[in-house]
Amino acid sequence: MTIETETVLDRRRLRRNMAFWRALAVFAVILAIGAGLFGSNSFKSLLGQKQIARVSITGTILEDRKQLKLFDKIESSDHVAAVLLYVNSPGGTTTGGEAIYDALRRISKKKPIVAQFGTVAASAGYIVGLGTDHIVARGNTITGSVGVILQWPQVTELLGKIGVKVNEIKSGPLKAEPSPFKPLNEDARKVTEEMVQSSFKWFVSLVEERRGIKAPDVPGLVGGRVFSGRDAKKFDLVDELGGEEEAVRWLETKRGIDKGLEIVDWKPSDTQGFGLSSVVAGAATSLFGNRAGGLVDLMARDRSLSTLGLDGLVSVWHPSEN
């Protein structure tokens, strides 16, 4: 073999070795970035270590398919010993609260669930809490607001002032009623009130069933009042005053969950990923940002903005602006 041939072969071997070590270095950097972005708890989930799954319900409650799939995943995960549900929401759509409630009751057949109420857990936020086995609230938590509301604007006078007339042809007198383009007639009012009252009766029956109380016995409950955490405890709307520590203690002392289990945050699939592509995407976003999509990202992260277009029967509390 000539010297030139040996030189060429040596160079090829050197290039292969360099390519291997470069790939290994890149992979190590990706793992390090992934660990920094998602935390060690996420990797513990991959290893199947026993844990308490913490799920946060914040902002406006909607019927979110990704969130419901997350609950299905928690239900079928053997390494999840219990669920800690953190609720900090003024409410949202009644169907959104109902969907989460049903998902939580399915989980409760396999593993215990405890709710920890934050600043506010009212209306549909309270419906979500009713789906758990035990509710812990802060003394100053705003909760309750048992009720349903359907709102729409009436713009007939405004349209008249600017010279706009709305014409319509419809199949029946109750189609598209109530309408913002004309005053509410008695027939439309009647069927709308029936729909609201039907949902309200469901909500009240849920409170009575899950809390073991009679709604009329609680001052202001059927009127839709809000309660502080202390008053809610007094009227048996919540079980205990405190925070996450008290919620975990209940799981350990009352439901036999092992002490010292790691509490792991579980999030819907669009914000929780363990694959290589998810780590790379997360790292890129963290390092370089996404200015062009900033507004979209803001609305995705803060679902309270979605109240600007909230449709359907709503169970949501907000303080008066007057």
Among all residues, which ones are annotated catalytic?
Answer: 123, 175
- The mean pLDDT of the chain is 82
Section 16-33 average pLDDT? 63
Task: Using the predicted structure, report yes or no on whether residue 95 has a pLDDT greater than 60.
Answer: yes
Tens of pLDDT along 101-114?
999 999 999 999 99
Output the pLDDT for position 286: 43
Tens of pLDDT along 125-151?
999 999 999 999 999 999 999 999 998
pTM of the predicted model as reported, rounded to 2 decimal places? 0.75
* Candidate ranges 19-23, 72-76, 308-312; pick with highest mean pLDDT: 72-76
Output the pLDDT for position 49: 85
Section 6-33 average pLDDT? 63
Tens of pLDDT along 186-199?
999 999 999 999 99
Q: How far is CA 158 from the centre of its chain?
A: 37
Output the pLDDT for position 14: 64
Task: Using the predicted structure, report yes or no on whether residue 17 has a pLDDT greater than 70.
Answer: no
SS3 call for 137: strand
| Cα angle: 274, vertex 269, 87; to 5 degrees | 115
Section 14-30 average pLDDT? 64
Q: Which residue has the higher pLDDT, 196 or 22?
A: 196
Task: Using the predicted structure, report yes or no on whether residue 299 has a pLDDT greater than 50.
Answer: no
Q: What is the DSSP string of 50-115?
A: -EEEEEEEEEEE---HHHHHHHHHHHH-TTEEEEEEEEEEEEEEHHHHHHHHHHHHHHHTTS-EEE
Contact 123, 147 (CB under 8 A): yes
- Amino acid identity at 5: T
pLDDT band at 204 (very low <50, low <70, confident <90, very high): very high
Output the pLDDT for position 287: 43
Contact 69, 269 (CB under 8 A): yes
What are the angstrom distances between the C-alpha of 9 and each of 4, 13, 18, 45, 182? Answer: 9, 6, 14, 46, 86
Residue from 119, 110, 125 nearest 71 by CA = 110
Output the pLDDT for position 15: 66
Tens of pLDDT along 213-270?
999 999 999 999 999 999 999 999 999 999 999 999 999 999 999 999 999 999 997 6
Task: Using the predicted structure, report yes or no on whether residue 121 has a pLDDT greater than 80.
Answer: yes
Task: Using the predicted structure, report yes or no on whether residue 177 has a pLDDT greater than 80.
Answer: yes
Output the pLDDT for position 269: 77
Contacts of 269 (CB under 8 A, 6+ apart): 66, 69, 70
Output the pLDDT for position 280: 43
What kind and span of H or E run contains 83? strand 80-93
Output the pLDDT for position 85: 98
What kind and span of H or E run contains 212? none
Section 167-178 average pLDDT? 92
pLDDT above 70 coverage of the chain, percent: 69
Section 167-187 average pLDDT? 92
